[in-house]
Amino acid sequence: MKFLQKSLIRKAKAMPDNQSMEAVIEDFKKGGWIMAVLGGLGMLARLILTNEEYKILIWTRKVIAGGIVGVISYFALYGVSIDPMYKSVLCSISGSIAPELFEYVRRKFIQKAK
């Protein structure tokens, strides 16, 4: 466990300090948008594999939610130095669990409001 902590600290120190939001946005424009597509495709694959019938509006909402979570995952994994294949798999998986994630956050906000 200590080896993992030391490794993460070394990687964090090796990252440049000039990672401004503009640089992140430019990288997103160059190729990060594909993570939104992967998140949406992960959700679409999940919908295709289920036996439940949904209206087209529900499909659209869930695929868009998958895309949004894919973008959030991209920004969360932006500075992490792992293989791009693993990043894309993480974005696809996170996109496929997007409805549950949004429902959980919505329930927490409703509980706090009451």
Q: Could you report the per-residue pLDDT of 76-108, keeping only the tens digit for each?
A: 887 788 888 887 788 778 878 888 888 888 899
Among 37, 35, 53, 39, smallest CA distance to 102 is for 39
- Position 90 in a domain: yes
- Position 108 in a domain: yes
- Position 18 in a domain: no
In which residue are the tokens 């974005």 written? 91
**Least confident range of 4-8, 19-23, 46-50, 65-69:** 4-8
Give how far the C-alpha of residue 28 lies from the chain's centroid of Cα atoms, to the nearest Å: 13
- The model's pLDDT over 3-44, given as tens digits with 9 standing for 90+, comes to 444 444 544 454 454 567 777 777 777 777 787 788 888 888
- Position 2 in a domain: no
Q: Is 14 helix (H, G, I), strand (E, B) or coil?
A: helix
- Position 23 in a domain: no
Q: By residue range, what is the domain housing residue 69?
A: 32-113
- Asked if residues 69 and 95 have their Cβ atoms less than 8 Å apart, the reply is yes
- Position 89 in a domain: yes
Per-residue confidence (pLDDT) for residue 19, from 0 to 100? 60
- Position 26 in a domain: no
Crossing angle (nearest 10°) for helices 56-76 and 98-113 = 90
Task: Kindly tell me if the per-residue pLDDT of 74 is higher than 60.
Answer: yes
The values of phi and psi at residue 24, to 5°, are -65, -45
How many domains is the chain partitioned into structurally? 1
- Asked if residues 94 and 70 have their Cβ atoms less than 8 Å apart, the reply is yes
- Position 73 in a domain: yes
Separation between Cα atoms, residue 81 and residue 78, nearest integer Å: 8
